Every structure is written in structure tokens, then in C-alpha cells.
Amino acid sequence: MNYFAGIDIGSTAIKAAVVDEDGRLIGTRIAPTGSSFHKNAMETFETLLTQHGIARDAVKFITATGYGRKLFKEADDSISEITANAIGACEAGKAFGGVRTIINIGGQDSKAIQIDVNGNVSNFAMNDKCAAGTGRFLDVAARNLEIDLEELGDYHFGGSGAPLTINSTCAVFAESEIIGLLAKGHGKEEIVAGIHYSIARRTVRLAKRVGIEDRVYFDGGPALNKGLVAAIQDELGRELVIPEQPQTTTAFGAAILARSQYLAE
Amino acid sequence: MNTNPNEATAPAYNRSRQAREAETLLDRIQDDFPDNPEAMRYFYDLFRRVYCQGEPVKHEGTLVGTTCIHAPEELIYAFGATPVRLCNGSYHYDQIGADFMPAKSCPLVKATLGSLHAKAAVPNTQALELIVNPTTCDQKTKASAMIGAMGYQVHDLELPPAKESEEARLYWQRSVRRLALRLRELTGRKLTRKNLQQAMARTARAQTAFRTLHQLRKNAPALFLGKDAFLVTNAYFFDDLDRWTAAVEQLNAELQLRQMEGFQAAQKRAPRILFTGSPPIFPNLKLPLLIEEAGGVVVADETCSANRMLYDMTAVDEWLLNDMVDGLADRYLKPCTCPIFTRNDDRQRRLLQLAADFNVDGVVYQAFAGCQVYEMEYRSIADVLAAQGIPMLYVETDYSPDDMGQLSTRIEAFLESIKTRKRNAR
């Protein structure tokens, strides 16, 4: 049996995915990027293979994506994470009846992608220079509030009052805003909800720039945060499609591409 | 005569920081691409000599700085003076210029101010006897007084905000006549039909060479890369006119030879890109370089540092000198596709024409953060191109290298989507 792999080396996490000859997803693995990302990427990939009892030489083609794609020399080819995300979401979205718009929030960027019926990118937008309104922003906020990142979702629904307004999506400015709100005696719940709405507004603006069509697929680590999902749905005025493993869609897309590149050759 | 009261020479550190910026870029342009045309060596060496080693710009007679393509250079040449375009592309000077303008204003204007303030060696600001500043966008208009306060002589070349009406035309013709009077005062020379004709013949030869190069870029697969094309047109800013023309003619001859040999400067299926918007100015060739490093090829452009500056020719011959000056003025107003004009349908038409003529697969639109007119024309251009099924990538950026990682991802994704589109169309 031949296998094909996609490795997504992001700013925060490394994601690996393996598909078989029929393009079925065999498994995925996620690990922090760390400072020696090349070593970590190799380890993540090899552990994934061991987990599923796949020999290294059974993997016929590797496609790398994400910020570290160019530096991962073991890969046979590389592709931008926007294209990989589109391919992965199109495939994963079939279970939901097909998707045409993708919202991705990563560790340090956020994207909105519009795809056509064949899964080809027709338009996309990406945040510019800074990490405003991305996963890193949630990180900073959770640290200020002294709660775990995973708990943010629960806090979102725990408040009694209306969500507070956090005006800034800049991680640095928001930090002082959050500290100010805490000092005024506001509850963590209202602050968390406020943070989610602040990211949601920014994300929806980005999505509107590319145009929202049909079902909207939301992926990336922050898609695990139920509070953020609720806030985006609220701002967007429609339901989001959330895959089972929102972090690995892009790696999955790269693996699918690896398979079709191998078959085409 | 040096009208600059501050005689101090440029501090060495300014020169070396700009030199490093220039050197890094030239290394990328030269070393990262195989098979650069032999004739490009002239331009690589020119930029190294001028930007890295601080060689003074060659000029005859009075050196007159210009801050925009609206300054009629034939008029300056006709007075025996030499124009040098001061628009600056250096991040280093952009940071210095931030002392004069709000941080969010256009990096091009800030960098120009910065280089003038720092008495930059490039292009020998020490020798500038006059700076002709066309009052185009708000930022260039307000820069006038600031440049004046630095001790330079500035002439505000007043430009009307529209170009279609007869009122605008007359207003502009009077502005250009007033510039002629100022130049006569400055140089002590007289303007005649003959010296204006001679000046026009010189620029016409340069423009003919440019047009030949422009036509050669229609070739598919591409013969010549955009990163080199921008370097060639950027050299026009400061290089000796006739020497530049000869170098471009030589380049054309080499490219024609390569054309016959079936040479390819890029892959056969490399997406063909039309570049528009804020001008790439050396050493800020960030975006065209990223496009070509990612496997695309810039085949044509609609910017004031290349095509818009050189394409439209001046061929005016009238019985009276005044009529000739008016005719020259028309050339600098009517065909211009700068977004500062109230109505600018010409830009849309030109983009569509270029897209068709050069078999373009996609358009990359650069808008400098703070260059409001380009930011504002984004939507209308996007709509016009979308109606023709031409994909466009809009990039808001500036001179800082911070966004290189983000930009390369966006550009790659754009090129990938063009490739998929082409594959599906086959």
C-alpha cells in the first residue's frame, strides 16, 4: 500500500496528515513548533507513521505547507497554506454538503478564502503584518486572565451580563485594556466574551472582503474554542461548519495534493 | 552655484545603510536568477557604483530635481540643464522622513523627504539647484514647503485636479510656461524652438528604445523578467540620457537574439503578471521580486516608475515656440493615468489593453499604505478586471521588510490559483 503525507509547519504548531491510495485520511498528529522546528517536524511525521504502522518508504510523496514549507527539504514539493487549506476544506466539507467559504484562524495569521465548486481558490484575504485577532491574541488574553486556553470557551457562556467591548484587536493594546477591565472589577466571563466578539468582528470583516458564499467552514486551532465559534456565528448571522479536527485541515489538504501529484507523475 | 545653505556632506552612516539595502537587493536580483542578459550588467554595475559606492550622478549644466513624472523633462533639457528624479525607494530614508510627515503617509514621499533632509549622496542632492515639485497628491503638495525649509529652491509646478476639461488644459499650459520662465531665470539661457526640438529628439530616442523593450516583453514564453525591467526604468531617473538609451538599445539587441534562439527567461507556464499601482522604486523592488521568486513573471506594468513614465512620446512641432510649449504640456497631462485625477477612466482602459496585448493571467495591484488615491481606485479597478475575468491580487504594503513572509504566502497562493485556473481551462 502506498501512502502520501502532508506536513503543515505553522508558527505555533506542526501538523502532519497521512492519506492512503484512495485519498482516505489515515491519521494526523499535532505538536508544538518550538525553536528547532525541523527536528520537531521530522519527529512528528515519524511518530505518526509509527503510530499507524506505516514504513517510511511506503510514503511516496510528501508535500510541505505553512511558514516552514521552504525549509523542510525532506518534502517532495511545497504549496502555500492558502491553497492547501482550500483543498483540505473542500474535501472535508463534502461530509457537510460542500463548502465555498473558509475562515482560518492560525497562531499568527487569519485568512478568509473563497473556493469554487472544484475546490480551487477564487479569492482570498489575509491579515496584514501583525498578529491582531489571531490565536496569539487569545493566548495573551488567557494569560492575563490567568485561565487556561482550553477554558476560554466555557467562560464565554458563563457570564450573566452582556459581553464587554474590547476595542483593540492588537495583542499589546488589548492586554492593557483587559487589565483595565479587571481592575474595574469586571468578571472574567464578560471579558472573555468581549475578546471573542472583538476577534469575531475582525474575522467577519475579512470574510466579507472575499465575499461569503454558501456554507462557511471554520478551521485552525481557535475553531476548538466554542465561545469564539458562537461569537463568529453571531456576527456572521449564519452557522459555521466545524470539522472534527480543525487544526489539521491544511495538512490534510497537502496530503491530498501529495497523492494527486504522485498519481499525475 | 549651490543654493543649498547647508554645505555639510552626507553623514557616512546614511550612505552605508542605504548602500547595504541596495547591495542586498542587487545580490538577490543578480544571483538568485540564472541567465541574466549580459547587457543587464551595465545596469547592475551602474546601481552598484551609484548606490553602493556613492558615485555622483553624471550631469551637464544645472542639476534640476523632479519629484514626479509630471515635470516636463524636455523643457529642462532644452535649457541645457539635467533633470534627476528624486522619488526615493529606500526604507532607511523612509524612516528619516517619518520626522516630517505622519507615520501613516506614503513611504515614497517620506523617503524622498528623508533623503533630501539627510543630504543623501544619491542622487547628489548637494548639486541640486532647483527642485520642481508638481502639486499632485496631497502629500507631494505639502512636501513643497518642507523641502524649501531644508534649504532647497523649490518650484511648485501647479497641476489641475482634472485632465479632461479645457479649463484644466489652459491652467496646466500656463503652469508649464511659468516653469519655463523659472528655468530661464535659473540657467540664464533662452528657450528656442531648436533646443526644444533637440531635447525632444533625445527623449524620443530613449522612449523608442523603451518601447522596443516593452514590445519584446510580449513574447511568450517570457524573454525578460520584470525585476530587470524595473531596474532599467529606475536607472532612467538619474542616468545620463544618451548613455541610458545606448544601454537599452544594446539590451534590446541581445533580447532579439535570444528571441531567435528560443530562449526562455521563465517557465513556459509561468503566470504572466501585469503590475499596477504604487511604483516600485529602487531599492524597493520587493513585490516584483517576490512575484518572480515565486515563479511568476511580470510582463508589463502600469506604474509611474516605468511604463507610465516612458511610454507616451513627445513629438511636437509647431511654428511658434509658445505652441510647442503648450503641446509639450498636453503630453504631460492628457495621457497620464495617475489616480490623482478626478476622473481616471483612462487607467481602466489602459489596464485592459495591456492585459489583452501581453496575454496577462493576473494583475498585482500595489498600494503603498498612505497612498490614498491608489487605495481609493482599488475597487473600481477590481470591478473592471473582474468583469473581464482577470484575477487581481491587491497588496497594501510599504518599504519595510516586515511583511515579506506574509506577502510571499499571498503571492504564491495567487499564482497557484492562476495555475489551477489555467489547467482547468485547458
Domain of A37, CATH number, reads 3.30.420.40
C-alpha cell at B369: 499604505
Tell me the chain B residues in contact with residue A250 when contact means C-beta distances shorter than 8 Å. none
Is A5 part of the contact surface with chain B (CB cutoff 8 Å)?
Answer: no
Position A241: which residue type? V
List phi, psi (to 5°) of B157. Answer: -90, 105
From A121, A127, A129, residue closest to B413, measured CB to CB:
A121
Is A84 part of the contact surface with chain B (CB cutoff 8 Å)?
Answer: no
From A83, A120, A128, residue closest to B403, measured CB to CB:
A128
Q: For residue B113, what is the DSSP state?
A: H
Report the C-alpha gap between B374 and B394 in whole angstroms.
Answer: 11
From A81, A124, A129, residue closest to B402, measured CB to CB:
A129
C-alpha cell at A100: 465555498
Q: What is the pLDDT of residue B125?
A: 75
Read out DSSP for chain A? --EEEEEEE-SSEEEEEEEETT--EEEEEEEE--S-HHHHHHHHHHHHHHHTT--GGGEEEEEEESTTGGG-TTSSEE--HHHHHHHHHHHHHGGGT--SEEEEE-SS-EEEEEE-TTS-EEEEEE--SS-TTSHHHHHHHHHHHT--GGGHHHHHHH-SSPPPP----SHHHHHHHHHHHHHTT--HHHHHHHHHHHHHHHHHHHHHHH---SSEEEESGGGG-HHHHHHHHHHHTS-EE--SSGGGHHHHHHHHHHHHHHHH-
Report the C-alpha gap between A106 and A111 in whole angstroms.
Answer: 8
User: Is the CB of B403 less than 8 angstroms away from the CB of A82?
Assistant: no
Span B109-137, pLDDT tens digits: 999 999 999 887 667 778 899 999 999 99
Report the C-alpha gap between B219 and B217 in whole angstroms.
Answer: 5
Asked if the model's pLDDT at residue B243 lies above 90, the reply is yes
User: Is the CB of A120 less than 8 angstroms away from the CB of B409?
Assistant: no
For the residues A117-130, what does the mean pLDDT come to?
83
Report the C-alpha gap between A61 and A77 in whole angstroms.
Answer: 8
List phi, psi (to 5°) of B339. Answer: -70, 0
From A83, A118, A129, residue closest to B413, measured CB to CB:
A83
Q: For residue B137, what is the DSSP state?
A: S
Stronger pLDDT, B390 or B9, i.e. the higher one: B390
Stronger pLDDT, A70 or A228, i.e. the higher one: A228
Element containing residue B394 per DSSP (H, E): strand B392-397
Q: At what angle do helices A188-210 and A135-145 cross, to 10 degrees?
A: 170
Q: Is the peptide bond before B283 cis (omega within 30 degrees of 0)?
A: yes
Mean pLDDT value across chain A: 91
Does the residue A231 lie in any domain? yes
In chain A, % of residues over pLDDT 90:
70
Residue of A nearest to B422 (CA): A120
Read out DSSP for B296-345? -EEEEEE-TTTHHHHSS------SSHHHHHHHHHHHHHTT---TTSS--H
Does the residue A170 lie in any domain? no
In contact, B225 and B298? CB cutoff 8 Å:
yes
Tell me the chain B residues in contact with residue A129 when contact means C-beta distances shorter than 8 Å. 402-403, 406
- Range name among B122-131, B236-245, B280-289, B335-344 with the lowest pLDDT average: B122-131
Domain extent at residue A122 = 3-129+203-264
User: Is the CB of A80 less than 8 angstroms away from the CB of B413?
Assistant: yes
ipTM: 0.80
Bridge partners, residue B362, by sequence: B273
Q: For residue B50, what is the DSSP state?
A: I
- In this structure, whether the domain defined by B12-29+58-202 belongs to CATH 3.40.50.11890 is answered with yes
From A81, A118, A122, residue closest to B409, measured CB to CB:
A81
Indicate yes or no: pTM above 0.95. no
Span A29-51, pLDDT tens digits: 999 998 888 899 999 999 999 99
Q: What is the pLDDT of residue A134?
A: 87
Residue of B nearest to A78 (CA): B412
Domain count, chain A: 1
List phi, psi (to 5°) of B91. Answer: -65, -35
Element containing residue B38 per DSSP (H, E): none
C-alpha cell at A205: 470583516
Q: At what angle do helices A249-264 and A81-93 cross, to 10 degrees?
A: 90
In contact, A62 and A5? CB cutoff 8 Å:
yes
CA A198, A199, A200: angle at the middle one, nearest 5?
90
Asked if the model's pLDDT at residue B1 lies above 60, the reply is no
Is A184 part of the contact surface with chain B (CB cutoff 8 Å)?
Answer: no
The pLDDT confidence band at residue B12, using thresholds 50, 70 and 90, is low
The pLDDT confidence band at residue A174, using thresholds 50, 70 and 90, is confident
Q: For residue B4, what is the DSSP state?
A: -
The closest alpha carbon to A48, from A101, A5, A99, belongs to: A5
Chain B: give the shortest CA distance to residue A159, in Å: 37
Tell me the chain B residues in contact with residue A124 when contact means C-beta distances shorter than 8 Å. 410, 413, 417
Residue of A nearest to B412 (CA): A80
The pLDDT confidence band at residue A136, using thresholds 50, 70 and 90, is confident
User: Is the CB of B410 less than 8 angstroms away from the CB of A122?
Assistant: no
A72 burial level (CB within 10 Å; 0-12, 13-18, 19+):
buried
User: Is the CB of A80 less than 8 angstroms away from the CB of B403?
Assistant: no
Give Cα separations from B357 to A59, B14, B218, B220, B354 (angstroms): 45, 43, 7, 12, 5
Q: How many interchain CB pairs under 8 A, A with B?
A: 46
- Range name among B62-71, B84-93, B252-261, B313-322 with the lowest pLDDT average: B313-322
Helix ranges (H only) for B221-264 are 226-235, 241-261
% helix, strand, coil for chain B, step of 5: 55, 10, 35
Q: What is the pLDDT of residue B263?
A: 93
Matching residue, cell 494527486 = A260
The closest alpha carbon to A232, from A213, A207, A214, belongs to: A207
Report the C-alpha gap between B133 and B145 in whole angstroms.
Answer: 10
Asked if the model's pLDDT at residue A162 lies above 90, the reply is no
Q: What is the pLDDT of residue B7?
A: 44
Largest separation between any pair of C-alpha atoms in chain B: 65
The closest alpha carbon to B25, from B223, B228, B225, belongs to: B228
Residues of chain B whose beta carbon is less than 8 angstroms from a beta carbon of chain A are 391, 396, 402-403, 405-406, 409-410, 412-413, 416-417, 420-421, 424
Q: For residue B112, what is the DSSP state?
A: H
Tell me the chain A residues in contact with residue B107 when contact means C-beta distances shorter than 8 Å. none
User: Is the CB of A121 less than 8 angstroms away from the CB of B417?
Assistant: yes
Tell me the chain A residues in contact with residue B396 when contact means C-beta distances shorter than 8 Å. 128
Does the residue A235 lie in any domain? yes
Asked if the model's pLDDT at residue A105 lies above 80, the reply is yes
Identify the three-state secondary structure at position B205: helix
Is A264 part of the contact surface with chain B (CB cutoff 8 Å)?
Answer: no
Residues contacting A171, CB < 8 A, separation 6+: A130, A131, A132, A136, A137, A140
List phi, psi (to 5°) of B43. Answer: -75, -40
Report the C-alpha gap between B173 and B169 in whole angstroms.
Answer: 6
List phi, psi (to 5°) of B72. Answer: -70, 105
In contact, A40 and A29? CB cutoff 8 Å:
no
Q: What is the pLDDT of residue A214?
A: 83
